[in-house]
Amino acid sequence: MKNIQIIHQREILMLKEFIRICDKHNLIYYMLGGTLLGAVRHKGFIPWDDDIDIGMPRNDFEKFKSIVKQEVTYPFYCENDKDISSYKLAFMKFCDSETQVYWEHNNEKIVVDLWMDIFPIDGMPGNILKRKLHEYRYLYSRMMANLAQFSNIVNLNKKNRPFYESLIINIARKLNLEKLLNYNKWQKKYIEVISKYSTSEKYAGNYTGAYKLREVVPSDYFGKGEKLDFEGLKVNAPSKYKEYLTAIYGNNFMQLPPIEARQAHGLEIVK
């Protein structure tokens, strides 16, 4: 069996356990990003993709965080800032303790438990002035929180960064800003900023994702959700999932990208 097939099989088991907990406690969730694209275009994983992305409205996200330790069954567990004091991400990782993978980070291969990402979905005001101010505060606090944990979170191998991002990263490396910035202060500020507005606002989205503000869309795109097929499961998707995918990937999201652009995390099974 191929490496990617084993990863997909284990991730489906993780997803089933996650859905079981959400259904038991009436928690709202949605497929996001490449997972949603895979459901729409392939009725499952994008063939070369090796991860699962899920989003939850902030209230449901926090509720899940508070109950998961008591609810989750072996071999699964959840990494988050409530249960692990040293955890340094603004989203959760739902993990499989029986499946280890090599993950390449900044030219170093490390062994980690296989995971899927669970992101918070927060609001954005419709008022143009409030929105622009919130966008600025978000981008600034995210940058500072990332610089405060530079070696842990900044991917130096990421391609096609905007010029200003590459410039900031080079300056941060040379000045060793990670040593000068207080991580706890800036991470707290970052989470305070992104969680300020609820999904009842005109816009909402995943502020912690790779696409930043491109993932903030009209909040009615999420709605009550719609079940889509994903590898034989019925999994929640945003109500207006086509509009959501168009906002992030463009009008041609159903077309396959060229072979050279078909990239994933590059995970390799250890055991």
Q: What is the pTM of this model?
A: 0.90
Are the CB atoms for 239 and 226 separated by under 8 Å? yes
Separation between Cα atoms, residue 167 and residue 47, nearest integer Å: 34
pLDDT of residue 127: 97
pLDDT of residue 126: 97
pLDDT of residue 31: 98
Residue 137: name the closest of 122, 153, 149, 150 by CA: 122
Q: Which residue has the tokens 């990208």?
A: 257
pLDDT of residue 147: 87
pLDDT of residue 173: 67
The pairing of beta strand 53-57 with beta strand 76-79? unpaired
pLDDT of residue 178: 66
pLDDT of residue 223: 96
List, as one string, the DSSP characters of 198-216: -TTSSEEE-TTSTTGGGGE
Q: What is the pLDDT of residues 60-91, one digit of tens each?
A: 999 999 999 999 999 999 999 999 988 989 99
Structural domains in the chain, sorted by start = 3-122+217-269 (3.30.460), 126-196 (no CATH)
pLDDT < 50 stretches in the chain: none
Residue 247: both structure tokens together? 């906002």
Separation between Cα atoms, residue 81 and residue 95, nearest integer Å: 14
